[in-house]
Chains A and B, each alone.
Chain A
Amino acid sequence: MDALIAPVRDFLGPAWLPIWTLVKIVALVVPLILGVAYLTLVERKVIGYMQVRIGPNRVGPFGLLQPFADVFKLIFKEIVVPTGANRYLFFIAPILAIGPAVAAWAVVPLTDTLVIADVNAGLLYLLAMTSMGVYGIILAGWASNSKYAFLGALRSAAQIVSYELAMGFALVAVLMCASSLNLREIVLGQEGGAAYWYVWPLLPMFVVYIVSGIAETNRHPFDLAEGESEIVAGFHVEYSGVSFAVFFLAEYMNMILIATLASVLFLGGWLSPFPILNDVLIGGFAPFGDGLLWLGAKVAFVLFIFLWVRATFPRYRYDQVMRLGWKVFIPLTLVWIVFIGTMMQTRFAPLFH
């Protein structure tokens, strides 16, 4: 690999760093977008089977080409700008929604060495980036010049700001266990098999993180920002064609991000749950070794929970959402942080590292 890269690096000189970084970004984002495409298909299939239906099965074998059919349909649709809309903000809003969703991936480690930027304050960076996603939604609601869109934007802003606190506290608990903000070190702190994962000492935090994640991404049962029975489709009611597709992409990308983070922070990231099997060779390969496959399996599991919850629960009422965030999750996380801090001073400390 190095022998291949070296001549190109010498040829490009100072332009090498930006170009190489761009190549890495493309190599990460393209699979992500494909992942989003197939997540939409999986979602429809999973919910279909849960409701004793088959789901999409017309385009391609088992409906496998359905996402592409959807994308082409959206691309060829007209983009309608509502009267009295603020043109610039109307078009900037989807970009502001997807920008942070993609940018956050820069610090997510996929394996021990596979990460774009191994930043020291990775966890903080993630919090900062995910907190910016709300601008896309607020601006979309305001710039559309529509009452429904505006109501959706207000709901979503209040909801995201509230759940961010609980989410942040859950992350604080993780960083107390790992005593590092660097995501790679957090994963390495869980080395030694499934019993060492942070999900066990931090089980309530894991639940809080997943539920807040669902609320942050405006997914069912917390999708009050869309609430099609009350406010049609919320903040993106006026969007059509590609600009709608970008919002869609941002939502699903955030979902995958939250699932990946849950795997990295609580479920040991790329580490195998059975390190004993790491060196078992089958046909010259070690299929159970540490690596991308384990991370993929964990992410798929968390995403399945997202879809499962969507197929199972009725939508929350707005005041119930706020109550859950402020009166249940925030006190719970605060108490658990103090509990962990206290336990770390006792002889049970090794259980919490």
Chain B
Amino acid sequence: MSFQTAVFYLFAAILVFAALRVISVKSPVHAALWLVLSFFTAAGIWLLLGAEFLAIALVLVYVGAVMVLFLFVVMMLDVNFEEMRRHFRSYLPVGAAVGGLVLLEMVLVILSGTKGAGSAAAPAAGSNTKALGRLLYVDYVYPFELAAVLLLVAIVAAIALTYRRRRETKIQDVAEQVKVRREDRVRLVRMPAEKREG
């Protein structure tokens, strides 16, 4: 067994274990942290495949940004576990059915669609950032731009739908502050020195 294979099995074992812990631990904060670990090991496996750009982007985007915001929200949750677990039995059949369906779909995909995908030649080391850039910005530039515009619209829509200006909050107008000159605020008074009494 070569060194790379050994590392792969190590990462794979950690990944599977961490993914299992994500759905089995009680505390949502711990679940989020296990998810971070599984993202990280998945990035390690991608690195072994020679997909260094994807691996680093996974760490940068998901571990570095998305999961931080996720933890941010999850940490502030005040979850009552007794309340959550009370309906466990009544929801079990529906949950099991959905889970079974997903499992079936995955098995079907794995059994049918792997032809060709697994045999993709490993790209020459180092060039894959450049190759991806060429694909995104030259070959598929219109779909890529379209996706970008779609995301922008989604951002604007999310803000427009949820933003409401509250009357009672006071907001600093920085431009107004910067515009202020000394003459507007300070008045120099010239007065003669006075003699001290007594």
Contact = CB atoms under 8 A, between A and B. Distances in A.
Interface of B is mostly: helix
A169 to B, nearest CB: 13
Q: Which 9 A-B pairs have the closest CB atoms?
A: A131-B64, A120-B126, A128-B59, A128-B60, A124-B56, A128-B56, A142-B75, A121-B52, A121-B129
A142 B68 CA distance: 13
B72 interface: yes
For A138, A139, A323, the residue with the greatest tally of chain B CB atoms inside 10 Å of its CB is A138
Contacts of A161: 65, 68-69
A288 B73 CA distance: 53
A157 B129 contact: no
Contacts of B125: 120
A125 interface: yes
Contacts of A131: 59-60, 63-65
A132 B63 contact: yes
A85 interface: no
Nearest to A131: B64
Interface of B: 29, 33, 36, 52-53, 56-57, 59-60, 63-65, 68-69, 71-72, 75-76, 125-126, 129, 172, 174
Interface of A: 89, 119-121, 124-125, 127-128, 131-132, 134-135, 138-139, 142, 150, 153-154, 157-158, 160-161, 164, 181, 319, 323
B52 A120 contact: yes
Contacts of A134: 64, 68
A280 B52 CA distance: 43
Contacts of A132: 59, 63-64
A121 B57 CA distance: 11
A153 B72 CA distance: 9
B129 A120 contact: yes
A158 B129 CA distance: 29
For A128, A157, A181, A323, the residue with the greatest tally of chain B CB atoms inside 10 Å of its CB is A128
A160 B71 CA distance: 14
B174 A157 contact: no
Contact of A154 (B52, B57, B72): B72
A138 to B, nearest CB: 6
A158 B71 CA distance: 11
Contacts of A164: 64-65
A38 to B, nearest CB: 31
A125 B65 contact: no
A157 B60 contact: no
Given A121-B56, A124-B53, A181-B129, A150 B64 contact: no
B54 to A, nearest CB: 10
Contacts of A323: 174
A318 to B, nearest CB: 12
B59 A158 contact: no
Nearest to A139: B33
A127 B52 contact: no
Given A124-B60, A127-B56, 17 more contacts: A120-B129, A121-B52, A128-B56, A128-B59, A128-B63, A131-B59, A131-B65, A132-B59, A138-B68, A142-B29, A142-B75, A154-B75, A157-B68, A158-B72, A160-B68, A319-B172, A323-B174
Given A124-B53, A323-B174, A150 B68 contact: no
14 contacts: A120-B125, A121-B129, A124-B53, A128-B56, A131-B59, A131-B60, A131-B64, A134-B68, A135-B68, A138-B68, A153-B75, A154-B72, A164-B64, A319-B172
Contact of A124 (B36, B57, B65, B69): B57
A138 B68 CA distance: 8
Nearest to B126: A120
A135 B36 contact: yes
Contacts of A157: 68, 71-72
A154 B76 CA distance: 10
Contacts of B57: 124
A127 B129 contact: no
Contact of B56 (A125, A142, A319): A125
B20 to A, nearest CB: 18
B45 to A, nearest CB: 16
A49 to B, nearest CB: 32
Nearest to B127: A120
Nearest to A150: B75
Contacts of A138: 68, 71-72, 75
A227 B65 CA distance: 24
A131 B57 CA distance: 11
Contacts of B60: 124, 127-128, 131
A120 B47 CA distance: 13
Nearest to B171: A319
For B64, B68, B72, B172, the residue with the greatest tally of chain A CB atoms inside 10 Å of its CB is B64
A121 B53 contact: yes
A261 to B, nearest CB: 16
A161 B174 CA distance: 23
A18 to B, nearest CB: 9
